[in-house]
């Protein structure tokens, strides 16, 4: 998403179809557990490029194709409001997306375009597996992570998808600038 020429090619193909965009889901996220002392400039740049720059320009370049009344959904994270050691750069990018959600909602309101964020907590995906310090410790890591969630487990991808579908649908027609936490209560009890 951070390669702007790639975005131009995608949007040119969509424009050729001539129908416009009703829903734009900008779902980007990646990071590593790294103590602040181990964060390199390359890691910083790559994480901000993927998680912030790519999302911003995905939205910006879609604007001419977005139909009035469209829905834009950005993926933030509970890490935008929590402070877990080793996730400072990732958390900063997700905080940026939370603010971007509110700003874009304000800027695009004249066109009736709604902008909202979904903020997952720990979801049982390969990305979470990759955070384990060693591949042999994945189950132990995920067990401990799930135990830290007030509902006592990791979330499932389909639980996040349900929130995204709600924000994409007319059922959320009076919701903009908002954020839905799909995190088992993590952000509410561990700010």
Buried b (16+ CB within 10 A) or exposed e, 2-32: beeeebeeebeeeeeeeeebebbbbebbebe
Query: Shortest CA distance to 117 belongs to which of 7, 25, 29?
Result: 25
Query: Shortest CA distance to 168 belongs to which of 27, 17, 5?
Result: 27
How far does Cα 25 stand from its chain's mean position?
A: 9
Question: What six digits make up the tokens of 164?
Answer: 């995204």
Beta bridge partners, 74, equal: 26, 117
Instruction: List, as one string, the DSSP characters of 28-42.
Output: --------GGG--HH
Is 11 in the active site? no
Q: Active-site residue among 29, 90, 105, 114? A: 90
Residue 153 φ then ψ, to 5°: -160, 165
Task: Give the catalytic positions in this structure.
Answer: 90
């Amino acid at each position: 998403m951070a390669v702007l020429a790639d975005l131009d090619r995608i949007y040119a193909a969509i424009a050729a179809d001539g129908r416009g965009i009703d829903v734009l889901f900008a779902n980007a996220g990646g990071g590593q557990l790294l103590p602040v002392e181990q964060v390199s400039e390359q890691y910083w740049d790559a994480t901000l490029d993927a998680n912030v720059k790519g999302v911003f320009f995905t939205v910006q370049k879609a604007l001419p194709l977005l139909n009035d009344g469209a829905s834009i959904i950005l993926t933030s994270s509970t890490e935008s409001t929590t402070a877990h050691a080793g996730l400072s750069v990732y958390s900063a990018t997700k905080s940026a997306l939370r603010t971007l959600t509110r700003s874009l909602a304000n800027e695009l309101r004249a066109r009736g375009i709604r902008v909202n964020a979904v903020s997952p907590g720990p979801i049982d995906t390969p990305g979470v597996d990759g955070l384990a310090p060693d591949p042999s410790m994945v189950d132990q890591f995920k067990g401990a992570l799930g135990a830290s969630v007030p509902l006592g487990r990791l979330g499932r991808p389909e639980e996040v998808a349900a929130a995204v579908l709600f924000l994409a649908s007319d059922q959320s027609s009076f919701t903009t600038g908002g954020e839905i936490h799909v995190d088992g209560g993590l952000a509410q009890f561990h700010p």
